[in-house]
Structure 1
Amino acid sequence: MASAFGHALLGATLGKLLLPARSHRPWWLLAAACAVLPDADVVGFTFGVAYASLWGHRGLSHSILAAVVLASTLVGLARLLRPRNQPPVGRLWALLFLATVSHGVLDAMTTGGLGVAFLSPWEPQRYFFGFRPIQVSPIGVKRFAGAAAWRVLRSEALWVGIPCLLLWLGQRFLRPAPANTPR
């Protein structure tokens, strides 16, 4: 898996890109959380859930279906609670879906594990992408330390951090001028 840092950074970047107004910053944080959440499945190891099972790591929680369910649930809650500065429903749903599904995308680009069950529960097959430059992160806080942590963080700085930074800068400096600006 990629680390929680890489997942959160990509989720927040998607938030900034899809909901650029500063008033939407809380939604960027929710997108970051959605991007990290699929790894909650590691709690299954404590209960003896096999890695390769439907409920195992990178299984159902990393699927496209899980992203649809999570985005739909959170948007439904947002509509009920009606928070201030709520973005358009469709745009919010797209953000939360993309942030959640981005988790599996990053994991499918790592150098280890069993792959990602994108099509679970209908298809148990797990997938990796042909391009796998991100160093796999050890599972567990205790194992994510020292040389292993630096190896993963350097890899993510290159393959997640730099692209996110370029997207942020591109949005900032390449956006069109407002229509009512005098020429």
Structure 2
Amino acid sequence: MALTDGARRKNGWPVDSITQAALGAAMGELLLGRKLGNRALAWGALFGTIPDLDVMLSPFLDTARKLDVHRGLSHSLLFMIAASFGLAGLLQKRWKRDKVSKARAGWFVFLALSTHVLIDCFTVYGTMVFSPFSNYRVGFNNLFIIDLFYTLPLLVTLVWGGFLTKKDPKRLKLCVRGLLISTGYVGLSLGAKFWVSSAFDADLARRKVKFERRMEAPTPFNILLWRSVVDRGDELWIGYRSVFESSSTPVKWVVIPRQREAFATVADTREAKTVDGFSDGWWIARKTATGVWLADMRFGETRSWEKKETVDLRPVFSWLLSYKDEGDRLRTLPRETRNTGEILKRMGGRIFGNREKWEGYPRLTGNPASLPEQLNWED
């Protein structure tokens, strides 16, 4: 299960913006705190959220264009540099009485924007850092889009420091401590990813499974349970592993046919090319009466256990692509959130080794034109 950055637009978009604002506020405190006091926190929070203002273009774009634009130019190195040089002089004039130099103002803008982009690069969605020269999406896949263990240390230390005077040296010390704790958590996530990735690789090697590529990402709100997706050409394998499991513990792999023949019927359309590029090819496809159902399997799946000994897997991020060449042919399907509490409860159990309540006979759901599709597995 993964309520990802793709899902946030409907299910609480501002939540991850709190993280971006906190990072920006921390940059404001580091560079401007002793001169501006709490105004530095406010300005930092503002600049820390600016890259995500690309969502304001959404009402004027079709679904495919939205996928192209979000985390695009506004998250690029070019934008960060241009904004830093372009705004440095204006901010220096605004803060003239506070004796903020042009160089310091420019570095503030750059760091507030770049830390936003950096934290986005840690997630699955991918960020076009090199736009407009390249559409390549940078994604390290080591953090979930919302992780309180990362955000809370920043928030607590910034709020605490906000009650102190701008000349109090404790303000800066608190900010640095918050950043060190959060940065340490990022380091732990990278270490956890390296360990589980090696364990997944060992499991596939024992089975003598050949594959083209593989990716791992953490499950929601933690870095203890990880999900792997294996590309075997005509099928994807999906499995989970906890950091508390031995590397010799076998993985239960769910096998999902990709059905390339279904994708081929729309492969030449702009929308299908966009989905293929956005998902980095991690899609599955199914024909419907009016078009093709597409799902990006990087983002995980919600789970339900309504039928005994069976687990229904519903991709979080999916679309319907219509054959009709009119209007917005690509329609984003709504996410399933009605049993989120049950999923999180079972996910907590899975972290500590309770595999039975997490797994079952797998079925693929979410395709509105089809009954649940029985899937195979390897254990």
Rate the CA distance shift 1:69–1:25 in 2: closer, same or farther, 3 A: farther
Q: 2:362 matched to which residue of 1? A: none
Rate the CA distance shift 1:23–1:34 in 2: closer, same or farther, 3 A: closer
Q: CA deviation at 1:100?
A: 0.7
2: CA distance, partners of 1:170 / 1:83: 23
Answer yes or no: is 1:20 the counterpart of 2:59: no
Aligned partner of 2:19: which letter? Answer: G
Partner residue of 2:58 out of 40, 45, 61: 45
Q: Which runs of 5+ in 1 are unaligned?
A: 136-151, 176-183
Greater RCO (CA < 8 Å, at least 6 residues apart): 1
2: CA distance, partners of 1:25 / 1:74: 20
Q: 1:109 matched to which residue of 2? A: 122
The answer to whether the 8 A contact 2:33-2:41 is kept is no
Answer yes or no: is 1:159 the counterpart of 2:150: yes
The answer to whether the 8 A contact 1:134-1:159 is kept is no
TM-score, normalisation: structure 2: 0.36
Rate the CA distance shift 1:161–1:14 in 2: closer, same or farther, 3 A: farther
More strand by share: 2
2: CA distance, partners of 1:23 / 1:48: 39
Rate the CA distance shift 1:11–1:117 in 2: closer, same or farther, 3 A: same
Rate the CA distance shift 1:19–1:40 in 2: closer, same or farther, 3 A: same
Q: CA deviation at 1:18?
A: 2.1
Answer yes or no: is 1:128 the counterpart of 2:139: yes
Answer yes or no: is 1:63 the counterpart of 2:73: no
Rate the CA distance shift 1:165–1:129 in 2: closer, same or farther, 3 A: farther
Give the percent of matched residue pairs that are identical in Structure 1 and Structure 2. Answer: 26
More helix by share: 1
2: CA distance, partners of 1:170 / 1:80: 25
Q: Which moved more, 1:62-71 or 1:76-85?
A: 76-85
Q: 1:180 matched to which residue of 2? A: none
Q: CA deviation at 1:41?
A: 0.6
Q: Which runs of 5+ in 2 are unaligned?
A: 6-14, 162-169, 177-379
User: Where do residues 1-16 of structure 1 align in structure 2 (5 Å cutoff)?
Assistant: 1=5, 3-16=16-29
TM-score, normalisation: structure 1: 0.69
Q: Aligned residue pairs: how many?
A: 151
Rate the CA distance shift 1:86–1:26 in 2: closer, same or farther, 3 A: farther
Partner residue of 1:119 out of 116, 130, 140: 130
Q: CA deviation at 1:103?
A: 1.4
The answer to whether the 8 A contact 2:35-2:100 is kept is no
Determine helix, strand or coil for the equivalent of 1:19: helix
1: CA distance, partners of 2:116 / 2:79: 11
